[in-house]
A and B are shown apart, each in its own frame.
Chain A
Amino acid sequence: MTGVENPVGTPPTTSAPARGDGARRVGVVVRRLVLSPAVLSVAGALALTTIVMIAVGVDPSLAYPALVRGALMDGNLEYTLAAYVPTLGMAVAFAIPLRAGEFNLGGDGQLSLGGIVAAALALHAGGSYVVPLVGAALAGALVAGLSAPLRTRLGIPAIVSTLLLSAPAVSLASYLARFPLAEPGTGLAQTPLLPESARLPAFGSSSYVTIALPLVAALTALWLYADARTVPGYEIRALGANREFARYGGVRVDRMAAVTLAAGGAFAGLVGGLIVLGPPYRFVDGALTAPGYTFTAIAAVLLAAGRPPAIPAAVALLTILQAGGQGMEREAGVPSQLTQIVQGLIIVIVSVAAVVRSRWTGRQA
């Protein structure tokens, strides 16, 4: 464009003489890592847990190994993985719209509707698991997508509308499972067993883990790539960082926000379908929401503190804590509620750490 060499400003003047370069830089990196909200909060939570254990008279040196065994050893790994998959899926369902600055708190509703739609299609459409899964994703996308016009037309923020739409969606799924789709003659709130053809194949020889694991892993990887390396991912990040900036830069902000909400809903619906098409191969009322995948997922995303690649690890950490909690209860007599308390503490500390950090690094001009 121009021929001027150095058009604006004088060349940068004496930038600070970097003192003891290498060592200093390592120091800075280490400090940043140690002070990151994730590390701080996990460490803080563990410290608090240990104090609680000691206070209630449990030996931490027994409890922690029991926790690890309960989650990862003695054949428990399978259960843990079976819980990891839906939690990771729900984490992505929350994280996709979050990147655009929208909170999807309606995960439970999207999950339940996805599950019941998958069951209905498996029972009545026949064929393989593909159609039920697609239907489940569409159902989730539809419920979550509803929040977009509610925001642009009526000004109701997504954080409110997704939450408000969740309960009726859960109830609708529950009603369908109890009445139109109920297993005849049993009086139980569940659908009949799904036909063999629609069931998800097992992953390896596992009896709990299905091909949902590689599927969710692959989709998560795809999303991570899209977020970091594609133009739509960039536009979504810009939208979340400063809506007006994105609009200024030519991003169709309303449409983009709607897309992310629907995509998050699709992910949640898909997870519902994957659960239902896996063991015990039916929609059991309440079985999707009772384990609290949605809540754990939100906690994990907050723990990852705006760094999507950290989400799988954060989900793993929280899932291990939960699964291990039961082992700890069995072996060390620590009530498994303790791990829920730890999870809650992590969230509180994450938030506090994030706020404190933003105060420290807050910048004016």
Chain B
Amino acid sequence: MSVPPHDRPVAGAPAVELAGITKRFGDVLANDGIDLAVARGEVHAVVGENGAGKSTLMSVLYGLHRPDAGQVLRAGVPVRLRSPADAIAHGLGMVHQRLRLFPGLSVAENVVIGAEPVRRGMLDRAAADRAVAGLSERYGLDVDPSARVGELPVGVRQRVEILKALYRRAEVLILDEPTAVLTPGETEGLLRMVREFAAEGVSVLLVTHKLEEVLAASDRVTVLRGGRVTGRFDTAATSADELVQAMIGRSLGAPPHGPRPTGTPSGPAEAMAYVLEVRDLHLRDQDGVAAVAEVSFGVRAGEIVGLAGVAGSGQRELVEAVTGLRRAGSGEVLLEGRPVEGGRERRVAYVPADRAGRATAPIMSLADNLLMGEQRGIRLRPDRMRQRAAALVERFSIRASSVRAPIAQLSGGNAQKAVLARELSRDTPVLVVEEPTQGVDVGAQERIHALLAEARDAGRAVLLQSSELSELRALADRVLVMFEGRVVADLPVAEATDERLGAAMTGAARPEQGDAEATG
């Protein structure tokens, strides 16, 4: 086998090697002769714009797609991967960008599925629970093995996926944007775990859009662009700038919006009434457990209020109450002074974090997906729909072969852009956004931030939930921190330092944040 020139001189063959991989979908050349080798114990980052072909390449490696040309070598030996089962048999494990769990099963059941501990021909539930609890403890993942996956927030579900690969003792671990929806603390934990893995001899392929993660956790980097390799770097000898240059062919400009001058909302916002107001809200989840308690706050026109907190602190339930998808237990949600109605509230545009589960119908066309929420009257006008879709595709640079193709065929970041395009173009006084930049590349992140700032300047009231503290700091006027269903801190952006936010998110700041809750 020819050894690609970029391979470092390691003893023996690379743990895994992709040689000349080409993969075409109809007219789209997703991978174009890609070579990539990962040594044993190496963390190899794969970066590139949305639609560059990263997920496709990882899917080829995991036996989900058969390449049109090229081959996969494992420890120097060509292997035929016709299915994920083949890949697992060859010691490969993958955490997908779009989570693939069974919502009806418990965490432990999801983790062991396909490799269940068996006792007398039956699933040994206790052993499964024990194994999962052990793993989750060892890597500090904090997951309850008996919880039902469908009821967990996306962030926790992601950890279940990671546990699944850990459980199978993968020697090559493929992580496709594992940190897209994790909080900084969780991300840090994950990256530490990744390094630990590498130290134990596991090879890790890490796809991410966050360059600080690349710089912090990887040994080498491969940059893809338009399906081709446009750069290979040793992490130690490169910089974020150099990577961006290889990714998008230019450097990032200064953020067009710039950091908000602190404490001065544009215009006389202070004087204005709340557009969105939540008063002493209490919510219970399905099991009657309090999910949100005593929450009160308001968002004015022309203001962005950030919402922070570790996954499962009640943010999801709160957002559902604001968007009308969940009935208030007690208390009120007021929009321009009038309470939200039951069912989806039309006065709120909403970008959900759960892209495949709520924000899109993956099997429907891009045009159909872009219509949802705006359908009115009786007649559908396909030509007008397609026109509008085409306009959004153009304006938001969504890379799609056709608006008639299922949205599932879009790359993750492009699907995210489609959701944003749909919701940002709606004409509503309130905009609720969860994880707006999950899975989008650095260039698009910049522009999405500009768009949110623009929505604010246009006088909309924006509630922004993000696990990215830097995102909250860049955009929000105030940051609310939730912990165990309560708002435990309400900080002006100038005071929202990593330390203070971090402390509030873990509940440590509770006693001293007396000013937190507007009402008792």
Contact = CB atoms under 8 A, between A and B. Distances in A.
Contacts of B9: none
B425 to A, nearest CB: 6
Contacts of B425: 1
B368 A234 contact: yes
Interface in A238-288: 238, 241-242, 244-250, 252
Interface string A8-28: 111111111110000011001
B233 interface: no
Interface size classification for chain A:
35 or more
Interface in B331-361: 343-344, 346, 350, 352, 357-361
Contacts, number: 169
20 contacts: A7-B396, A7-B451, A8-B395, A8-B444, A9-B444, A10-B248, A13-B226, A14-B226, A15-B226, A16-B30, A241-B364, A242-B363, A245-B358, A245-B360, A248-B352, A252-B343, A362-B64, A363-B409, A364-B176, A365-B97
B93 to A, nearest CB: 14
A18 B402 CA distance: 14
A263 B421 CA distance: 35
Task: List 5 tightest A-B contacts by C-beta distance, closest first.
Answer: A16-B29, A365-B97, A249-B372, A365-B412, A241-B361
A234 B375 contact: yes
B440 interface: yes
Nearest to B177: A365
B90 interface: no
Interface residues of B, number: 78
Interface in A47-82: none
Nearest to B369: A245
A242 B361 contact: yes
A321 to B, nearest CB: 30
B289 interface: no
A230 interface: yes
Contact of B377 (A231, A248, A363): A231
Nearest to A16: B29
A4 B450 contact: yes
Interface of B: 24, 26-30, 32, 49-52, 55, 59, 64, 96-98, 100, 176-177, 225-227, 248-249, 325, 343-344, 346, 350, 352, 357-364, 368, 371-373, 375-380, 382, 395-399, 408-409, 411-413, 415, 417, 420-421, 424-425, 427, 439-441, 443-444, 447-448, 450-451, 454, 458
A192 interface: no
Nearest to B354: A244
B382 A245 contact: no
A2 B424 CA distance: 10
A16 B24 contact: yes
Contact of B448 (A8, A13, A228): A8
B278 to A, nearest CB: 20
A231 B441 contact: no
Contact of A364 (B27, B100, B397): B100
Contacts of B51: 12
A12 B377 contact: no
Given A9-B444, A364-B64, A245 B49 contact: no
Contacts of B398: 8-9
A199 interface: no
Nearest to B59: A364
A237 interface: yes
B11 to A, nearest CB: 34
A245 B359 contact: yes
Contacts of A11: 397
Nearest to A18: B27
A230 B26 CA distance: 30
A112 to B, nearest CB: 34
Given A238-B364, A364-B176, 12 more contacts: A4-B454, A7-B395, A8-B440, A9-B397, A13-B226, A16-B227, A230-B378, A234-B368, A234-B371, A245-B357, A248-B359, A250-B373
A102 interface: no
A105 to B, nearest CB: 22
B352 A232 contact: no
B372 A231 contact: no
Contacts of A8: 395-398, 417, 420-421, 440, 444, 447-448, 451
A6 interface: yes
A253 to B, nearest CB: 9
Interface in A189-242: 228-235, 237-238, 241-242
Residue in A8, A10, A238 whose Cβ sees the most chain B Cβ within 10 Å: A8
A10 to B, nearest CB: 5
B372 A229 contact: no
Contacts of A18: 27
B27 A238 contact: no
B380 to A, nearest CB: 5
